[in-house]
Amino acid sequence: MEGKQTHLAWIKDHSANLAAYGGVVFCVVFFTILTPMFGESIWSARKLETLMSNVIVTALMSVGAVFVYSLGNMDISIGRQVGLYATIMVVLGNSTGSLVVPILVCLLLSVVFAVINGATGEVLHIHPIIPSLVVMFVLTGVNSMLFVNMNTRNISLTSMGHEIFKSPILMLVVLVAEVLIVSYLFNFTKYGKYAKAIGANQVSAQQSGVNLIKYKVIAYIVMGVCVVVASVFQMGYTGAAADATGTGFEMNVMVALILGGMPLSGGMRSKVSCAVVGAFTFALLDVGLPMIGIAARNTYIIKAVIFLIVVLITCRKKDGVLPR
Amino acid sequence: MKKTLALILALAMALSCLAACGNPGSAGSEAPAPGTSEAGQNNPSGEDNGKILFMANLNAGPQYDAYLAYLDMVCGNLGYTYEVILGDESNDPAGNLTAVQNAMTNDVVGLIACQDGGLSEILAEYPDLYVAGFASDMASVYDEGGTNASVKDNDHFLGTVADQYVNGADVGQMYFDLVVEKGYKKVATICFPPFAYPQLAVADEVFRTLVEEYNQTADEPIEVVGEAEVLMFEPLSDAYFMEAERQDLDCIVAPLAGCTFVYPALKSAIASGTISADTKLLTSGFENDEDLLADFGDDGVITAICIMTPESILVPMVMLDNAIQGKPFADYTASEAVDSALYIIDSREDMDRVLSSSLLGTGDAANTAASWDAIQDLFTRNNESATYQGLKDFLYSDALTVDGLA
């Protein structure tokens, strides 16, 4: 009897993880069995490439966003940041013949945005989402002005080839490397531990001597660097940038993290794996559902229902407090 | 009690998801408006020639319903299935490519693309796929130095049908003719940004040039108020009408989806008394909202609507089928952007005719002027002597104009 109760308690405690990991495992098994019956396996080389291209940008951004979400914050300017970085990479790439300078410029900008988004909320005592909202509006305007001045809606990288960024192997290698680095920073350094501590209880963290502004800005910098890496693949995949590039990406990141079981309120239960699991679950649904005869436009409904189920399991308040 | 309430709310959310993804259908139409057709369904040919992807730039409304109804009819008779995929709403190259990748299955043989972003990447990734454009001038393909210029000479790219005219000068001329015909003397113009719709800027420029020429001999000149208002893909703001010089306009010329982007603000300004109740709208786009349709005609706010005849989607279907069957037109030498068939609806009688007798108005392919019997000989599989010129002649025939409606 006691053993049964222990098992139930364990399941209850780990319901978020079970839902998230169970979801991706279910998708893998489900599509592995069903897709060959419809003519092509989801593990065919072509579909694996599609899967990787679907997942890479969201996964790279989400992995970095774990730092910010673990604070209990979110940054809704990252989509527009991707748009700006992609534009800069194409424009400067074409003029310099290399991506080194544009990537450095983007990294510099990402630090600037990280300082604005990470510190402003704390300094001005406003909700941290507000600075990112302001940055989003500013970047939307900047990007729009750039394309108005260039008198076109999309631009191409013409000075060099970009096929390398279409390689699923490179995508996988970069993703694994980023996951390892961010996991190390998140789990084994004070930057990650303090970020989780701030998310769990900001007052306690501050009274324990944690410099809130410093560690919040560092969390945003980690995410900013990951957004730049994601932008390289976003731009590199088609060798192009458009005025709308990056639109809505912040929502993709949020959906991926929630699907992966990330507590929106941040805290000690935040994990880097949430980002990867969520991003792959979403991509598996995007690629797999049309393969089993479900029209692409109807996949939204299935994704919405799955999202709803996961949210109900992982994000509901317990004892009046959001999971953290 | 709380758990029951939570369960009910969760079910309500799930049901709202289902409702949101359901098909709204179309007013006045009994025809279904599906996003896909299954093999064997509405397939008199009994053949299975593969699937056509339709990367639409709309996902609802009477035009969309008309496209699908017509695709149902044509694909069924040719033995294809089709599937609607939604391209990136902002025409982002990566977004369009991803949309195609996700929908790509072994049986896909063709793509009708309403957006040009990422075309060169799509063709590079799927070199055996035949692609034809629709409702887009594919400026990035045909403009010098365009980002998809390499597509122009790809033998798997089969040209495009523009949304109305390829050349903005023709659009400017069309609206100028309407302004003169209606006798408007004080007008303003509204456009989308030139970097996204360069031909609209050309249309505006030509319109103004024609007005200047007209004024040199006219007893009562036409005044074009200010520069063209540029809408950044957002509806016209109410503030537009706060400027004194726009409060007594005879008409607004908006060669864009004005029923959606301009009409609400215009109607609101008239209702609030901010502007003259006699201000009219010449525009494009088509909605089957009853109030809006009741406001059409010389006694209403919208006095003319210029819109692509939905049967124009016949052109990409013919081009794709000929290519897939390996029977191209003998006189087809290179891909090109061509004008669409056009409805110029400029009277209440015209509108009534469109609403009652056309594919656009009813969403029913039984009401098309381009029935299967009328078009089957345009395909080389049915008629070896069919020609590209013959297809264009049919496209621009009276049958596909308002005058051609029963």
B303 and B176 in a common domain: yes
In a domain, A31, yes or no: no
**A66-103 tens-digit pLDDT:** 999 999 999 999 999 999 999 999 999 999 999 999 99
- Specify the CATH number for the domain of residue B68: 3.40.50.2300
Contact call for residues A291 and A35 (beta carbons, < 8 A): yes
pLDDT higher than 50, residue A53: yes
**A116-132 tens-digit pLDDT:** 999 998 889 888 899 99
CA distance A101 to A93: 8
**B70-91 tens-digit pLDDT:** 999 999 999 999 999 988 888 8
B42 touches chain A (CB under 8 A): no
* Order of all β-strands in the sheet with B130-134: B81-86, B51-56, B108-113, B130-134, B157-161, B337-338
CA distance A183 to A177: 10
Q: How many domains does chain A have?
A: 1
B147 and B45 in a common domain: yes
Q: How many domains does chain B have?
A: 2
In a domain, A149, yes or no: yes
pLDDT higher than 90, residue A275: yes
CA-based nearest residue to A222, from A230, A211, A233 = A230
Mean pLDDT of chain A: 88
CA distance A226 to A224: 5
Res A153: pLDDT: 82
The beta-carbon neighbor of A238 closest among B14, B97, B104 is: B97
The token duo for A193 is 């531990």
B301 and B173 in a common domain: yes
B148 and B89 in a common domain: yes
In a domain, B1, yes or no: no
Taking CB atoms and an 8 Å cutoff, what residues of chain B touch A152?
147, 195
What range does the domain containing B217 cover?
168-307
Contact call for residues B127 and B287 (beta carbons, < 8 A): no
Residue with tokens 């309407």: B178
Q: Is the ipTM, as predicted for this complex, more than 0.90?
A: no
**pTM beyond cutoff 0.90:** no
A312 touches chain B (CB under 8 A): yes
In a domain, B20, yes or no: no
**B182-203 tens-digit pLDDT:** 999 999 999 998 888 889 999 9
Asked if A50 lies within 8 A of B18 by C-beta distance, the reply is no
- Specify the CATH number for the domain of residue A164: 1.10.3470
Q: How many CB pairs under 8 A join A and B?
A: 114
B150 and B205 in a common domain: no
Residue with tokens 């560092």: A218
What range does the domain containing A248 cover?
39-314
Res B295: pLDDT: 92
**B334-377 tens-digit pLDDT:** 999 999 999 999 999 999 999 999 999 999 999 998 999 999 99
CB atoms within 10 A of CB B245: 11
B283 and B205 in a common domain: yes
The token duo for A101 is 């300078």
pLDDT higher than 60, residue B310: yes
DSSP-derived 3-state class of residue B252: strand
The token duo for A71 is 């604070």
B390 and B267 in a common domain: no
Res B266: pLDDT: 94
Contact call for residues B307 and B345 (beta carbons, < 8 A): yes
Q: What is the secondary structure of B73-136 as a DSSP string?
A: HHHHHHT-EEEEEE--TT--HHHHHHHHHHH--TTEEEEEES--TTHHHHHHH-TT-EEEEESS
Res B41: pLDDT: 52
In a domain, A26, yes or no: no
Res B28: pLDDT: 35
Asked if B17 lies within 8 A of A144 by C-beta distance, the reply is no
Task: Tell me the range of A199-213, B9-23, B170-184 where mean pLDDT is highest.
Answer: B170-184
Res B14: pLDDT: 54
pLDDT higher than 90, residue B105: no
